[in-house]
Amino acid sequence: MSLDYYLYLSALLFTIGAAGVLIRRNAIVVFMCIELMLNASNLAFVTFARMNGSIDGQIFAFFTMVVAACEVVVGLAIIVTIYRSRRSASVDDARLLKL
């Protein structure tokens, strides 16, 4: 098996995640799809590190993980705030700038 297959898998997961962000309405599911995209890019980073024989790709993947964790924390706090004011977690209901 060629190492390229990992990259194909990563591209597939990234695409599915992007489709999910566009199609789904529930803000939490949209968020999970964003996580899927970040993870797919991480797989590509790790594979590139192995192809090149250098550890830098793994360092990038590590930084991506930290940034993704920050993003999840802030994003979920925003979702909870929106849910409190509108009683809905659907991205379609949050279309007004103020209540």
Partner 1 sequence: MNLAAIIENQTEIPEAVLFFILSPIMVLSALGMLLVKKAVHSALLLAVIMIGLAIFYIANQASFLGIVQIVVYTGAVMMLFLFILMLVGVDSSDSLEETIRGQRIGAILGSLGVGFLLISLLSRADLGRPYSGLDLVNVEGNVQAIANTLFTRYVWAFEVISALLITAALGAMVLAHRERLLPRKSQRELAAERVRQNVVPVAGLPGPGTYAQHNAVDIPALLPDGTPADLSVSKVIAARGELANPSTFRMNEKKEEGQE
- Give whichever of 66 and 99 is closer to partner 1, judged by the CB atom: 66
User: What's the rounded Cα separation, in Å, for the pair 80 and 15?
Assistant: 27
Amino acid at 80: V
Would you count residue 61 as binding partner 1 (CB under 8 A)? yes
Closest separation in Å from C-beta 82 to partner 1 = 10
Closest separation in Å from C-beta 60 to partner 1 = 9
Binds partner 1 by CB under 8 A, chosen from 74, 96, 97, 99: 74
Identify the residue whose tokens are 């990038």.
60
User: What's the rounded Cα separation, in Å, for the pair 97 and 31?
Assistant: 20
CB atoms within 10 A of CB 24: 16
Would you count residue 97 as binding partner 1 (CB under 8 A)? no
Would you count residue 86 as binding partner 1 (CB under 8 A)? no
- Give whichever of 69 and 96 is closer to partner 1, judged by the CB atom: 69
Q: Is the dihedral of CA 63, 65, 66, 70 positive or negative?
A: positive
